[in-house]
Structures are given as structure tokens and as C-alpha cells.
């Protein structure tokens, strides 16, 4: 079976999928799994395309205490268990492509070195994205690897949308508004074109609402504005990240509270957002079932800020025709969708309560001026498609040069 592996590495987890590409080159998911609890309570789980469990095994933390260990265990299991896989390439999610990369790229040691420059811009994500790439370059240098970037989808933004109001030389050095979750937005935009072509090319806001959260304004299927900017801290409040915050707060924490830059970074990436506001959890499911004042405040704030940013993005588009919910919270929390839809009523959105409860693709009432949708995202499939296209574009000599 000619296959592509897709790797999405996080701080304590390794998600992977194996896509069968033997059917005229169209990726079809054959195996989906992940290793979570790396270094604490490692657990390898995987299922086939029919949802049947292939493995669900826990390990001693010493066996899987880092990402390379997780990659080795996963690779050993795949080789021992799944027969007939002919792996032709590996596709990786890389959060930050900086100003250098506006499309997927075939990875070389030089490309990896360039991507390492953006670790300070995505300290939770970039090091973990690059770790499996380096491991495979070392152990399997003959295997083509492709990096797919969360920033690439937004690279067509206008200069006005891309700039901060700071001296121009900073922009030329790469200090600009990038936007993230691009692989998710790209997949949802493509899926919308298949399901609702009459709306997909109009003025659309997609809300990627999960542990990481952002929103994107699209016109004719292309990103024109996003709530995230230079880093993945900006915009909406998230599970543990604050979203938009006055830069003066950073200065205050450093000058008046005596916090180091490293301490502020740790605070903003790990202890803010829903977790910081609630004092309870960064998990929306926990907050929705709790009756503590902090849980209510966190949800109220989350919904309020989404409503504010919806107005901003609608202004960037000159109006709004559709609003799409996706990702973990957006796809699974009917209650959050109800509350967000209420904040969109002034734009003409009217929710169909029954369709929303049933998580139908279209959840607005027929008379709603702004159509409301729920469209599941699939970043891994988007990565597989990009990986397949990228290796097809490169000649055999290009691939041999990597070895």
C-alpha cells in the first residue's frame, strides 16, 4: 500500500495518520492514532478507517519520555503490526513559516535551520513540530518530508492588514501579522465549496474554536484578515492563552512585578485564557458543567470576545453572509454555538435550535440573513493532500538530492 504519514507533534502528544494513496493518488485515511502523556503517562492508541481499535497500550514514562521516544515506539508498532505499507513521504504540521514560506516545502537540513529561527514566535509549537523532522532526517534521510504551515493560508493579506504601526524596518525583519490555523481554514473553505458553493465564495467568517482559538475572514475563499497576528497568543482567549492584551500589561509585569521575559512567556502560554479566568480548567467541557463563578466568567468572556471580533472581521469584509463553527468547541458545544449566534443577531443571524442540537451542517433558520454552519475540520487530510502534491512537483533528481 503506497502511503503518506502525517505527523502533528505537540508538547506532550504525537498525533499521526497513515493515508493510503494507491487509489489514483487520492489520500484516504487508513490508520489514525496518537501518543499522549509523553513523559508522564504515555499511551499509544490507534484505530483503522472503520474505527476498530488496533492498539491501546500504556507505557512506563522511561520508555516514552520525549518526542523521539514516541516516534520510535510508534514506528516500531507500525512496522510490526501493519503489513504492506510502502511509505513514500511524511507530511508535518509546522505552525510558523515566517516570511520565508508561503506554501508547503520539501524539507532539507537548510530548511529546518531556517524554521528554527521562528521558535521564539511559537515556543509551544515550533520546537515540537521540528523534533520529529530532525529525528527522521537523521534516521531516514532517504524519506521525503514536507512541511505544511499554519501561516501560509494568510500570506495573501494586504500590506495594511499585515502591518503593525511600528517602524517599517521591523516589518522587513519579519515582525508582522501572520495569522494561524491556516490548514484548518483551508480545509473548511474547500469543504464549504463542495457543500455550499453558492455561499463559499461570499463573505464568510470561520471560527476555529478549540484549545487554540482564532477567527478568519474570507472573501471568495481567501483569507483577508485574522484575529491572530505575530504569534499564536493574539486575538481570542484560548484554553491557556490570553488572546488580545494591552502591551502595557507586559511592560508592567516586567518593570513593576519584576517578572523575567521567560516568566511572562510561561504565564501567557500556560496559565491564562479559560484556565486563568476560571481558576478551574482550560477545558470548555469542564467549565460548561461547573457552577463556579469563575467558570461562568470564563465562558462569558470567551463568547463576548468572539462577538467583538466577529464585528471587526465583518467590517473587514464589508458585511457578512456566513459564519462557520469548527474545531473542538465549535463542532461539539451546542451551548457555545447558541450563545455566539446570539451575539451575531445584529448582523442578521438566526439560529435553528433543532438543527444546532443535532449538529447539522446548516444550523440557521431559512430566513436568516447570515447563514450559520458547523463544518468539521481535518488538518491532517489537508497536510496529506499538500504532501502528495509537493512530492509530485519535485523531480526524482530533487528527491535524490535530499539523500
Cell 483503522 appears where? 48
The active-site residue out of 49, 66, 102, 150 is 150
Closest by CA to 323, choosing from 288, 355, 364, 295, is 364
Residues in the chain: 403
CA dihedral 39, 143, 26, 146 (to 10 degrees): 70
Would you call 352 a catalytic residue per the annotation?
no
Distance CA 147, CA 92 (A): 5
How far is it, in rounded angstroms, from Cα 244 to Cα 229?
Answer: 10
Cα 262 to its chain centre, rounded Å, is 24
The H or E element that residue 92 is part of is strand 86-94
Q: Alpha-carbon distance 15 to 130, whole Å? A: 14
58: β partners: 43
| Residue 337 CB partners (closer than 8 Å, separation 6+) | 325, 330, 351, 356, 363, 372, 374
How far apart, in Å, are the Cα atoms of 102 and each of 121, 178, 182, 305, 360? 17, 11, 11, 29, 34
The answer to whether 188 and 324 have CB atoms below 8 angstroms apart is yes
* Active site residues per annotation: 150
Amino acid at each position: 500500500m503506497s502511503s503518506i504519514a502525517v505527523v502533528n507533534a505537540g508538547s506532550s502528544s504525537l498525533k499521526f495518520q497513515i493515508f493510503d494513496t494507491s487509489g489514483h493518488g487520492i489520500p484516504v485515511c487508513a490508520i489514525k492514532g496518537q501518543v499522549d502523556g509523553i513523559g508522564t503517562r504515555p499511551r499509544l492508541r490507534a484505530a483503522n478507517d472503520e474505527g476498530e481499535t488496533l492498539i491501546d497500550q500504556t507505557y512506563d514514562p522511561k520508555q516514552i519520555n520525549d518526542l523521539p521516544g514516541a516516534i520510535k515506539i510508534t514506528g516500531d508498532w507500525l512496522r510490526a503490526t501493519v503489513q504492506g505499507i510502502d511509505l513514500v513521504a511524511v507530511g508535518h504540521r509546522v505552525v510558523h513559516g515566517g516570511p520565508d514560506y508561503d506554501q508547503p516545502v520539501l524539507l532539507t537540513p537548510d530548511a529546518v535551520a531556517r524554521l528554527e529561527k521562528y521558535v521564539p514566535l511559537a515556543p509551544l509549537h515550533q520546537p515540537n513540530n521540528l523534533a520529529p523532522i530532525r529525528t527522521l532526517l537523521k534516521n531516514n534521510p532517504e524519506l521525503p518530508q514536507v512541511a505544511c504551515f499554519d501561516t501560509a493560508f494568510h500570506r495573501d493579506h494586504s500590506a495594511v492588514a499585515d502591518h503593525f504601526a511600528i517602524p517599517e524596518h521591523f516589518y522587513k525583519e519579519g515582525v508582522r501579522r501572520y495569522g494561524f490555523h491556516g490548514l484548518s481554514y483551508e480545509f473548511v473553505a474547500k469543504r464549504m465549496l463542495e457543500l455550499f458553493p453558492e455561499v463559499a465564495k461570499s463573505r464568510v467568517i470561520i471560527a476555529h474554536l478549540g484549545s487554540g482559538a482564532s477567527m478568519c475572514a474570507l472573501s471568495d475563499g481567501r483569507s483577508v484578515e485574522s484575529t491572530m497576528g505575530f504569534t499564536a497568543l493574539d486575538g481570542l482567549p484560548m484554553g491557556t492563552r490570553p488572546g488580545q492584551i494591552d502591551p502595557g500589561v507586559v511592560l508592567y509585569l516586567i518593570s513593576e512585578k519584576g517578572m523575567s521575559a521567560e516568566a511572562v512567556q510561561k504565564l501567557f502560554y500556560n496559565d491564562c485564557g479559560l484556565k486563568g479566568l476560571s481558576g478551574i480548567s482550560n477545558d470548555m467541557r469542564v467549565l460548561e458543567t461547573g457552577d463556579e463563578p469563575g467558570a461562568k466568567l470564563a465562558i462569558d468572556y470567551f463568547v463576548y470576545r468572539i462577538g467583538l471580533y466577529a464585528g471587526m472581521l465583518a467590517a473587514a469584509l464589508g458585511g457578512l453572509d456566513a459564519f462557520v463553527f469548527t474545531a473542538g468547541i465549535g463542532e461539539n458545544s451546542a451551548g457555545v454555538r447558541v450563545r455566539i449566534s446570539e451575539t451575531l443577531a445584529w448582523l442578521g443571524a438566526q439560529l435553528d435550535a433543532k438543527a444546532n442540537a443535532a449538529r447539522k451542517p446548516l444550523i440557521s433558520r431559512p430566513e436568516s440573513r447570515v447563514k450559520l454552519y458547523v463544518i468539521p475540520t481535518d488538518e491532517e487530510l489537508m497536510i496529506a493532500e499538500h504532501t502528495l502534491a509537493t512530492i509530485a512537483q519535485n523531480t526524482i533528481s530533487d528527491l535524490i538530492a535530499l539523500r
